[in-house]
Structure 1
Amino acid sequence: MSSPHPPLFPALVAGSDLPALRFGERSLTYAELAAAAGSLAASIGSARRVALWATPTLETAVGVVAALLAGVPVVPLNPKIGERELGHIVADSAPSVVLAAPGDELPAPLRALDRTDITITPAATPPQTPAEPGPESPAFVVYTSGTTGPPKGAVLPRRALSATLDALEDAWQWTSDDVLVHGLPLFHVHGLILGILGPLRRGGSVRHLGRFSVEGVRRELADGATMLFGVPTMYHRIAEALPADPALAKALSGARLLVSGSAALPVHDHERIASATGRRVIERYGMTETLMNTSVRADGEARAGTVGVPLGGVELRLVDESGAETSDRQEVGEIEVRGPNLFTEYLNRPDATAAAFTADGWFRTGDMAVRDDDGYVRIVGRKATDLIKSGGYKIGAGEIENALLEYPGVREAAVTGEPDDDLGERIVAWIVPSDAEQLPGERELADHVAAQLAPHKRPRVVHYLAELPRNDMGKIMKRSLHA
């Protein structure tokens, strides 16, 4: 069936014998993926919406491609999700089918749904590919972690997928020759849309590790992989392993692109990796609702502590508390974005959708940043948790965290604010020491920050922890610190 719209995955339509997906010992060529996903697409084509039990497996990748071929919106589900949150997502998104790998045991909220097992037995003759839906047709409903109330389902149209992945093709010089390795979870934008659909959009291949390991990264990069995607926790483990692992350093030095996202990569880890491998990790910035907004370019300067420049097609501005665009390059403002990469709406939440956009159509990200003179964006934290107003100053937690991480004996650091009668808010540092027997001194830490940044940015209180609370993506859960 011909379609007036270009296909999301041209290489899938061509159906070659080139490798598309590899998970451990199991792999599929483009022809095999087209057949397996095409068979499944034919069986779910009448569904209103499908839920996908998104384990880090070949089945999940086939399931999501099948749903996209069928033009059916897919709701990816975290396999570690709690039953209450899962119940909310199922009730809110009302999928008619749940896709899962054969043998996966599903929790109670999913058992009432019709189940279709994702079996990877390509048909002898691939079924007819349905016509490509229009660009505004919904591709995903991805639930965002709710900081205030239950998660909201961000509806991502096909246009947002193609716009982001094609902008990254330009920024990262991403081609069909690239082989991506990663071990990210497959229920969110980073691992699933960038990490699985990105290579398929380009006609390249992806090798998923099942779960991240330094050994897996070393093996795959030494065996021809050209790109690595990870989150800061993964790069921190790589940085820790490098001094004793020359083979790892060699494998990383041969990579074309090392990309970190989902949270800020500490400058200390940037420098350790660069000095051991000669390769710099580049960072990019995105959200569930916007997909990717900015990135350090492959042909640009890989500057630690920044997320680069706006991607092609993305407009970005910083605004002050009145909503006016900031005029001073170094003034902290909230990031607002506009472009084809944005979501359509929060499912069933017209109130939340309206509140998320300005009158002139810019999306309020809630992220605070400054812009360097050449346009590079430096994120200083979330408006809700990382913007500290102390003594009349607006202070971003991120720059203090980076300064603390440079101090000897500090392995991890988080910075928050807490109420203070005199200052409005005082700066609180949460430190994981390198050695529990030798804590870096509270006064020394404060003096170090004052000397590196400014006296008003020094922490007034220091707490020492064995570890920082983190979510599946490695983001520090700051609300849990004060709890």
Structure 2
Amino acid sequence: MSPLSLDLSPDLFPALTEAQADPDGPGAHRPALRFGDRSLTYGELAATASPLAARVAEAGRIAVWATPTLETAVAVVAALLAGVPAVPLNPKSGESELGHIVSDSAPTLVLAAPGTQLPPALAALERLDIDTSAPTTSLPSPGAPDPESPALIVYTSGTTGPPKGAVIPRRAIATTLDALADAWQWTGDDVLVHGLPLFHVHGLILGILGPLRRGGSVRHLGRFETAGVARELSEGATMLFGVPTMYHRIAETLPDDPALAKALARARLLVSGSAALPVHDHERIAQATGRRVIERYGMTETLMNTSVRADGEPRAGTVGVPLPGVELRLTEEDGTTAVKAYDGETVGEIQVRGPNLFTEYLNRPEATAAAFTEDGWFRTGDMAVRDPDGYVRIVGRKATDLIKSGGYKIGAGEIENALLEHPGVREAAVTGEPDADLGERIVAWIVPADPQSPPTVDELADHVARRLAPHKRPRVVHHLDALPRNDMGKIMKRALTHD
């Protein structure tokens, strides 16, 4: 698919529109959403979401209490049909963070599943419970919104201050999902299974809106379990979306679960995202199932930027090539000089440009301006190298994962992958700390496979030096019981501190 063929029409869900126009047609009876034993066909979804869309059409902005339920999916679809921006709220957020998001985004109502207890931070908002029992007739949707109009306001993790609301236009959702359809050969015949939260890009936009845009279906597990994955893939699901912690659990379970291995072998596509999947887990899954997990790369502000293609080489440790319509470049430390070398070694910051980008940070014009170069490239803050064939390998975040040691620029990610290949390492994170001689020295934070007999610093240093290069070996090793992680399973490196 060329960038020019991406559909920028206001209609995000053609199959839903078709079902609404012809409630007795075959398309209306196709399965759309399933959460556990609760499900909606396209006809039922249209008949459920369109009256809700009519009710919220004049709401300005709405908050959605984004539990992993059928109600959350219906609420977001209704908001998109109405052309009203939705603010997905993480049910695990603390009072302070929720208070900031509500104050910053100023929604007029909050949509929630009936019976859900909402926290005090939402007490001042009018509440509207979502009824998923479809009425007998659907109502006409409000007028078609402009592709540039806001669809979602998704709040970032706030690692350097309060969370910022990324305003995501309809145009970005449509182009990202269409580009992924091209890269993954994603069609209405696909059935997606996932157990991701629904308050972020991966779980909500890719995992719920993606199947609906294709006219396919999604089966949400409610809560990730390997048994649920095996069941759904054995019963007709074709795709699995997950994050590295999920695939790690799969890799750990596979040796003792032949039914899981058989089910995964049936899948058309296994996709991992949100953080790098360790090469060790890639190899264990491939060996047990004959299927390769492919990775993609995106973030809240950009939606999806790159992916390994379904018809491409599923190369472990890479996030593939830029998606249709997305421009990607690596830059030197000055943020403007492009890295020309595709040598798999030269590290630069990823900058992207294209129709997949967000519009702005809500109420933060200074932050918005700082995020872009003068010629419109978004500064991702992610560091990467590019292989000779253009494949992108991310080596870490500029703020926490770029280590300058002995005159070298080193990405923490490749060292972490090397450490995870050591049999004595269960989990690994790598940071830098000041060193009078080297500038920074490499520090490894290890969860040992056997806490009674952890690998020594010399053993791990030699291991990394043999696999990568001597200057990339860790100089200090800390042993931990567990690594600090957020809701998405990403390691929170700022929480790694010395005793």
1:256 corresponds to 2:268: yes
Cα shift at 1:316: 0.1
Q: Which residue of 2 aligns with 1:305?
A: 317
Deviation readout 1:211-265 (Å, 9 max, x if unpaired): 1000000000000000000000000000000011111100000000000000000
Tell me which amino acid in the other structure corresponds to 2:189: D
1:285 maps onto 2:289 in alignment: no
Indicate if the aligned counterparts of 2:109 and 2:125 stay in contact, CA closer than 8 A: yes
**Segment of structure 1 superposing worse, 400-409 or 293-302:** 400-409
**Match of 1:408, SS?**
coil
- Which stretch shifts more, 309-318 or 320-329? 320-329
2:432 maps to which of 403, 417, 435:
417
- 1:209 pairs with one of 221, 224, 231: 221
Structure 2 residue runs of 5 or longer lacking an equivalent are 1-7, 20-27
Match of 1:402 among 398, 407, 417: 417
Q: Could you report, residue by residue, the CA deviation over 1:63-119 in whole angstroms, capped at 9, with x for unpaired residues?
A: 000000010000000000000000000000000010000111111111101111011
Q: Which amino acid aligns with 1:356?
A: A
| Structure 2: distance between partners of 1:328 and 1:32 | 53
Q: Which residue of 2 aligns with 1:222?
A: 234
Instruction: Give runs of ≥4 in structure 1 deviating > 6 Å.
Output: none
Contact 1:367 1:383 in 2 (8 A): yes
Give the AA of the match of 1:470.
R
The one-character-per-residue Cα deviations of 1:136-172 (angstroms, maximum 9, x if unpaired) are 0000000001121101000000000000000000000
Counterpart-to-counterpart distance in 2, 1:71 and 1:148:
31
Q: Judge which range, 317-326 or 296-305, deviates more.
A: 317-326
Partner of 1:470 in structure 2? 485
- Cα distance 1:455–1:236, how it changes in 2: closer, same or farther (>3 A)? same
Q: Which residue of 1 aligns with 2:381?
A: 366
Partner SS state of residue 482, structure 1? coil
CA distance in 2, matches of 1:107, 1:6: 35
Instruction: Check the 8 A contact 1:5/1:132 in 2, yes or no.
Output: no
Q: CA separation in 2, counterparts of 1:314 and 1:137?
A: 20
Match of 1:7 in 2: 11
Secondary structure, aligned partner of 2:496: helix
Report percent identity of matched pairs.
79
Q: Distance in 2 between matches of 1:454 and 1:271?
A: 22
Which whole-Å CA distance do the structure 2 matches of 1:359 and 1:439 have between them? Answer: 50
Deviation, 1:424, is: 1.1
RMSD: 0.9
Query: Does the Cα contact within 8 Å between 1:218 and 1:248 map onto a contact in 2?
Result: yes
Contact 1:39 1:122 in 2 (8 A): no
Structure 2: which amino acid aligns with 1:444? E
Rounded Cα–Cα distance in structure 1 between residues aligned with 2:133 and 2:253: 40
Are 1:51 and 2:55 matched, yes or no?
no
- Deviation string 1:267-289 (CA, Å, 9 cap, x unpaired) is 00000000000000000000000
Kindly provide the amino acid, as one letter, of the partner of residue 106 in structure 1: L
1:445 matches 2:460? yes
Is the Cα contact below 8 Å between 1:404 and 1:445 reproduced in 2? yes
Q: Which residue of 2 aligns with 1:150?
A: 162
* Residue 343 (str. 1) matches residue 343 (str. 2): no
Cα-to-partner distance string for 1:435-476 (whole Å, 9 max, x where unaligned): 111211210100111111111111010000111111011100
Task: Calculate the TM-score normalised by the size of structure 2.
Answer: 0.95
CA distance in 2 between partners of 1:129 and 1:200 (Å): 17
Structure 1 residue runs without a partner (length 5+): none
Map 1:162-181 onto structure 2 (within 5 A).
162-181=174-193
User: Which residue in 1 is equivalent to 2:122?
Assistant: 110
From 473, 478, 490, the equivalent of 1:458 is 473
Other-structure match for 1:327: 340
Rounded Cα–Cα distance in structure 2 between residues aligned with 1:132 and 1:390:
54
TM-score by length of 1: 0.99
2:196 is matched with which residue: 184, 189, 192? 184
Deviations 1:162-211 (A, max 9, x none): 00000000000000000000000000000000000000000000000001
Task: Give 1:121 deviation, angstroms.
Answer: 2.0
